[in-house]
Amino acid sequence: MVTLFHGDNTTQSRQAFVSALGEAQRKGEVLRLEAKALSLRILEEALGTQALFFGNKTVIIEELFSLPKSKAKDEYIKQIAQVAHVDVLLWESKQLSPAQLKNFVQAKVLGFKLNPVVFAWLDSLFPGNLAYAVKLLQAAVERESAEMCFAMLARQIRLLLSVKDGVIPKLAPFSVAKLQKQARVFTLEQLLHAHTALVDIDRQQKTSATHLSLHAQLDLLMAELLDQATS
């Protein structure tokens, strides 16, 4: 049986995947394949053999859908979707589209989505919009967590830096357009400063070097970033 974990809520999807992996390890043999080093021969050998010893066999592949588009990738997906005699656990760090999932009609597909308010908060980070951004962050923390909001802000800053550098992220066109619009209101120096600040916040939280909560530190960083952007 194939079990596929995906979604933009990578914390929850990863927790579910690790739990399933632990269960597989207790039941029998686990074989981990690296997506980037995959070949049809390697995959066929992994899917075509039973466990060496008594028990179940589980094949693990992460980020298969992140491989570049190719005929080989399409064949990997086809082969995996058809497997029946071994268990396969697939994990993706992104939300897969219906087109990407079309081959897995017989699989157990587990999707983990972030609350939309998280994306609304990230989209609200524009100069002059601090009060609304703070309100949305509060809602996002309540519905997800401060840790998830921190991770998503770090991702947003990395994406904005990429766009600023002329790199087009592999996202939907409307998402790229929103990022390009947002990137224009910040200088490269402001985004680099925000990135450095996030690294410092992460260190302080992990080493208990601050009395402030993670939520409070995110509020302060937003105030600084949006105030800088208006100057």
pLDDT for 79-133, tens place per residue?
999 887 889 999 999 999 999 999 999 999 999 999 999 999 999 999 989 999 9
CATH of domain 2-111: 3.40.50.300
Instruction: Write the pLDDT tens digit of every residue in 32-82.
Output: 999 999 999 999 999 886 554 556 889 999 999 999 999 999 999 999 998
Q: Please answer whether residues 14 and 42 qualify as being in contact, where contact means their C-beta atoms are separated by less than 8 angstroms.
A: no
Q: Please answer whether residues 13 and 44 qualify as being in contact, where contact means their C-beta atoms are separated by less than 8 angstroms.
A: no
Q: Please answer whether residues 134 and 222 qualify as being in contact, where contact means their C-beta atoms are separated by less than 8 angstroms.
A: yes
Token digits for 218?
A: 């995110």
Residue 230, pLDDT score: 46
Q: Which fold has domain 116-230?
A: Zinc Finger, Delta Prime; domain 3 (1.20.272)
